[in-house]
Structure formats: structure tokens, C-alpha cells
Structure 1
Amino acid sequence: MLTAAARPSWPAAVSPLVLGAVAGPRRAARVLGVFPTCVYVGLGPHDAVLALLARDALLQPIGLRLPTWSPDVRWDVSPGDEVDVGEGRVRLARADVVAARVQRLPRVAPPPPDQPPHRPLDCALDCTLDDTDCALHCALDWPPEAQRWLAALAQDLAAAALTNQPVAPFLRSLVGAGRGLTPSGDDAIAGVVLALRAAGRLRAVDRVGSHLGPLLDRTTSVSAALLRAAVEGYAVPEVVALLAAPGPSPDPRLLERVLAIGHSSGRDLLAGITGARRALSAHRAVGHRAVGHRAVGHRTGTVHASAQEGVLHA
């Protein structure tokens, strides 16, 4: 076990997104959450969080990743505990997590200029979201009502960003909607900005990001930090790989790995990606256009009601 009598030092690969905090001056930080595979540490600002990740944890872009499997790690901290961060390490109660190297993170990149636009997710996800006779839908047991609303709101958000229309009303409907560390609405927003970036629509990404910042206090610190990362193109490797995959339909094995993320985070991310892809297709087909015929007030009221009734789960 890693909790020997002598205080151990655990080497870790540090994400460049949290390198500044880890390498900077020593300061007190607060433990936000403890799980078998990871510990979340708040760095002060609401959207500043680092994750201590065991080897079998989801590779989040805000983390320090240990080479050790979670059964061999005892964090020996609880939510609310104070730890020290800085000078190249995170000091827990009985061990130090030391930044031994900088990790190279997967990042969603715009397509090369000569690559034609492709829609690798539309076929599989459209049939599941429309609840038609689809083998993937039956096998994965999608919750169609919640996913349809998420995808529709994501489509409106992406369309507004693409046409320089107001995005704030859609963001206010989505940020913090749902339950858990990463509410469903937040995951859908992440899917939107990642899909827009993958399509090379960086101005649309910046438009969403600039209006998202003031709303992040509506959601959890962990989710706020991950949304910040998504705006910069960072996500877990499975999502980055899915967005980079060419072809008319996704690799079913890769799609299943994305769907397995969290309780419903993978599905909510895919709902956001699907909505953004639909908006991109419409934008390419008809050029610049208004957001569409859906009334913002109607849509937002439905999503908030769904969230309150527990339809959206993180």
C-alpha cells in the first residue's frame, strides 16, 4: 500500500491546465470531493479545480495522474479538508503527489483546410434520439425525452453562436441543469463547443465561451472547470477521438466508451455534439440564418421543468 509509515511521495503527470497552480507558490486548498479513483481539490476561484487521478480514473484534462491503480491508493483525506498545493506538489495528510512530468493532453483540433466537412455522428445518434427502431437505441437504453430536449437546446445554442445571435438565453437554460458533479446541461454545452471547434468554427466557440464565464457560478466547481477546459478544446481522450474520427458513422466501440462516461455524462455530451452537428449542417446548407422557429421561453421552461422533475441526470 502507498500509506506506509514513512511519508511517501507519489510521482504524477500534471496537466498543463493546472501546472501553474501546482508549480506556483505554496498555498492552502480545499478538498471538494473524494472518490476511489480521484480527489477533487478547489484552488480558490469557483472554476479552478484540480483532480488527483489514479491510473484507472477517467483521464480528465484538469488532473495530476498517478501511475498507481486505485486499489493501491489511500487518499486519507475527506471533503472539506485543507491540503497544500504549490512548489511542484500537492501535500495530502500522509503523502505528497509530486508533478514529475507534464502530460500531453488530447485536444480537439479544427480540420485541415482541404478536408471536406463530415458528420460522423448524425446517422447513429439521429435514429436513437428520434426513438426509431434502432438496434443501438435498444442495446444502450437511451432516455429519449431528456436527450431530445438536450439535443434541441444544443442545436439552438450552436445555431445562435454560428449566426451571431444571442447565446446567453440558451446558456442560462443549460448551465447547472441536472444533478451531480457535472449536470446534464453542462455536459451538453461541452459537447457543443467541442463539436464547433472540431468543425473549425472558432469564432462561434469564442462567442459561447465569452458568455459562459459569468454563468459558471450556477453550477459545481468541478463542472465549471471542465467547461473552461472544453472551450479550449480539452476533453477526455474518448470524446476527442470520437470528434476526430472520419467516416459516415462512429466506431461502435468508441461510441460505447463515450456513452460509459459517468452516470449519463457521455450521453449528455453526445446530445450536445448531435445538436451542434445539426446546426452546422443547416448553416452550411442555407448560409447565415436566424436561430429558428423555436421560442426561447418555451424551450427554457421545458428544460428547467425536466431538471426539477429529475429527467436530467449527471
Structure 2
Amino acid sequence: MIERSENALRGPQPAASEHGHEPVRSPVPGAAGLAVREALERPRRPARVIAVFPTAAYLRLNGGAEPRVVALVGPDGVRPANSIVVPGTGRQPFHGVREGDSGWVGDGHAEAGGLRVRVRRWWDPRPALGPLPEARLRHAAMLLEAAPDPRACGLAGHPGPAALAGACAAGDLAQAVLAAERIVGLGPGLTPSGDDVISGLLLSLRLLGEVTAGGSRAVWLADWLGAAVTTDAETRTTSLSASLLHCAAAGQPSVEAAAVLRGLAGRAALAPAARRLVSSSRYSGADLAWGLLAGCRAVLALGRTSSRLASA
């Protein structure tokens, strides 16, 4: 869960210009995730700042395809798939950007308040993982379970996450959809805990299923479950969280979650990546880790089921 935006977090505000914010500065170079390439390459469209933090600002586009929220992220910020990374400039990158400011996205640029970013580079949020032997994934799942607080879900005590995990491990799409619908939008903040759990699970099902023998059932489940939870998502949760659910359904994780997925695939050190993810925010990191672990277990369970059916 990303905390609610509060102006108090940003300290004393500079004097506003006659237009309500500082004059637009010269464009700064940025690096954008491919998840927002379509939005950035289209003609410019109006947007509005929906939240500002010391390390990030979020722009909501008026209409268009998902993701409709574009994150402008500073060098030290969490980097979701729908983000544009803005370099440091000797002061907070979002100095002078205020919640409610008008802006726009398109023609290779994004503008929020007095900040204008020109995208110079692109990065692919989908990690390269495979091929992934089942034994390696099973061992990695045990390591993730033992990592610091990967199970400290923000919905601890609520039956929804466990029901969702169990339905996915059984390959029961109908029950998985019912369980997911109970927790979509559940929890406070810009990204409620229920959505983070679902996002982590969808990412593991798709990305680990694609590279694991017998993983086709997991990918099938990700397809249909992702379609179910993203239908009318913006009417059931926050704009930012709806966009991140769409990214997860497409297999586009944050940089921090991608590092954990690489660790699960044996392509990076898992424990440090898990610690970074869990500590990246008050709840969101742990919620995502919980979902990633649940999805990993489901991939293993569904793979074993596929193997038994094939040998029968």
C-alpha cells in the first residue's frame, strides 16, 4: 500500500506563481518503462497530478488505454512499470509540483506543475527469467518464505488472501475470481493491500509459468484471473492501483518486484532482493512479496498436476 499523499510530507511550500505553480523548467531527460510507451508516443493529452511525495509524483491521464496513471519517480523512488525515472537536480525533483496541478503526457514528454520531462531512454519491465527447473523454483520458494516478513500481509487475519492462494494452487478459476473480488480495493492508501497481493500473484503466475515446465496452466490462470480483476478496476479501487493491476496482468512488475522474480529464477540473489522489496514501503512491498510467494507455490502445484496428468 502506498501511503496517502499529504502536503505536510513535503515541508514548507515555495511561493506560487501567478499561474498557481512555478514556471515550467527546461525539460530534463527521463527513462520510461515500456508500459507507458503508447501514452508517451501519442499526441499530448491532458493529465492531472493525483498525488505527490518526496520521491514520486503521479499523473492521471484523461481517458485512453491503461495504464492511465504515469508515475514520475526520482532516483531514490520505487519504480513501478508505469514510471518515468527523473534524475536528481540538486534538490527534490518534484519541488514545486502540487497535488491537483494540471499537466499533460504525449509527444515523448510528460509535464506536471513546473516539471517537464523528455523521455530519452526506455527500459523493459519484464525480467528475463528462464528456463527454470522445478527443483530450483521449489528451493527458491522456501528461501523467500524464510526472508524477512514476506508473509506480513497488510490483510493479515483476513481470509481473502489465503482463499485466493488456495484456489490458484488448485487451478480453480471460479473460486480464484471470487476470492480476488473480495479483496480488490481492500485496504487504505493509493495501492490497497488487496490489490498488491493480487498483483504479486498475477506476476508470478505469468512470468514464472512462462519459463517453467508444465507452467501453461499457470499462464492460463493468469490470463483469465487478470482479465477478471482488471474489468472495471478503476470503479473498484484507486486510479493508480487500477493501472498497476493492468501492468501486473500484462506481466510488467516494478523494478523491485522484478528483482525478486529474478531471484526466484536463480538469476540474482534472492534474499537481498526480498529485503529491498519488503522495505520499499510500509505495506506494499510485503503485500507484493506475499502475492509473489503465493503465485510461486501455485506454479509449482499446477506444474505437478500437469505432470501427473501427462504421465497417466
TM-score above 0.5, yes or no: yes
**Which whole-Å deviations, capped at 9, do the CAs of 1:115-171 have from their partners, x for residues lacking one?**
33522453245568xxxxxxx46xx994798078465133134236x3444532112
CA contact (8 A) 1:154 1:271 kept: no
* Runs of 4+ off more than 6 Å: 3-6
Deviation of 1:206 after TM superposition, in Å, equals: 0.5
Distance 1:76 1:125 in 2: 40
Shift of the 25–286 alpha-carbon distance from structure 1 to 2, 3 Å rule, reads closer
Partner of 2:10: none
- C-alpha distance 170-84 of structure 1, shift in aligned 2 (>3 A): same
Contact residue 13 and residue 99 of structure 1 kept, 8 A: yes
* RMSD between aligned residues: 3.2
Between 268-277 and 227-236, the greater mean CA deviation after superposition: 268-277
Give the aligned partner of residue 301 of structure 2.
Answer: 282
Q: Aligned equivalents of 1:253 and 1:274: distance in 2?
A: 15
**Aligned partner letter, 1:202:** V
- Are 1:221 and 2:221 matched, yes or no? no
Match of 1:86 among 106, 110, 125: 106
**Native 8 Å contact 1:124 1:250 kept in 2:** no
CA distance in 2 between counterparts of 1:147 and 1:7 reads 48
Aligned partner (choices 22, 26, 45) of residue 27 of structure 1: 45
Give 3-state SS (helix, strand or coil) of 1:119's partner: helix
Distance 1:62 1:5, change over 3 A: closer
Task: Tell me which of 222, 241, 244 is aligned to 2:259.
Answer: 241
Partner of 1:104: 123
User: Higher mean Cα deviation, 5-14 or 20-29?
Assistant: 5-14
Q: Which segments of 5 or more consecutive residues in structure 2 lack a partner in the other structure?
A: 1-20, 211-217
- Post-superposition offset of 1:93: 3.4
One-letter code of the match for 1:21?
Answer: A
Counterpart CA distance in 2 for 1:215 and 1:240 is 26
2:22 and 2:67 map into 1 onto residues whose CA distance is 34
- Residues 120, 250 of structure 1: 8 Å contact kept: no
Report the Cα offset of residue 105 of structure 1. 2.2
Give the alignment partner of residue 195 of structure 2, picking from 158, 170, 186: 186
* Unaligned 5+ runs, structure 1: 129-135, 290-314
Q: Distance in 1 between matches of 2:239 and 2:75?
A: 23
TM-score (norm: length of structure 1): 0.75
Q: How does 1:54-203 map to 2 (within 5 A)?
A: 54-68=74-88, 71-101=91-121, 103-108=122-127, 111-112=130-131, 115-116=133-134, 118-124=137-143, 126=145, 136=148, 142=152, 146=156, 149=159, 151-159=161-169, 162-197=171-206, 198-200=208-210, 201-203=218-220
Q: Structure 1 residues 175 and 4 mapped into 2: Cα distance closer, same or farther (>3 Å)?
A: closer
Q: Which amino acid aligns with 2:300?
A: S
Relative distance call for 1:144 and 1:168 in structure 2 (3 A) is closer
Counterparts in 2 of 1:9 and 1:173: CA distance versus 1, 3 Å? same
Q: Which whole-Å CA distance do the structure 1 matches of 2:146 and 2:252 have between them?
A: 28
Which residue is equivalent to 1:271? 290
Gap change, CA 1:254 and 1:273, over 3 Å in 2: same
Residues 108, 233 of structure 1: 8 Å contact kept:
no
- Decide which of 28, 32, 41 is 1:14's aligned counterpart: 32
User: Residue by residue, what CA displacement relative to the aligned partner does 1:233-264 show, whole Å, maximum 9, x if unpaired?
Assistant: 111223212222246x9732222111112111
Residues 24/215 of structure 1: CA separation in 2 closer, same or farther (3 Å cut) = closer
Between the aligned residues of both structures, percent identity stands at 30
Letter in 1 for 2:58: Y
Alpha-carbon spacing, 1:81–1:244, altered in 2? closer, same or farther (3 Å): same
Task: Count how many residue pairs are aligned between Structure 1 and Structure 2.
Answer: 274
The 5 A counterparts of 1:290-301 are none
Question: TM-score scaled to structure 2, two decimals?
Answer: 0.76
SS at match of 1:57: coil
Q: Check the 8 A contact 1:147/1:271 in 2, yes or no.
A: no
Give me the whole-angstrom Cα distance separating, in 1, the residues matched to 2:270 and 2:185.
30
Q: Distance in 1 between the 2:108 and 2:175 partners?
A: 42
SS in 1 for 2:35: coil
Output the amino acid matched with 1:187. Answer: D
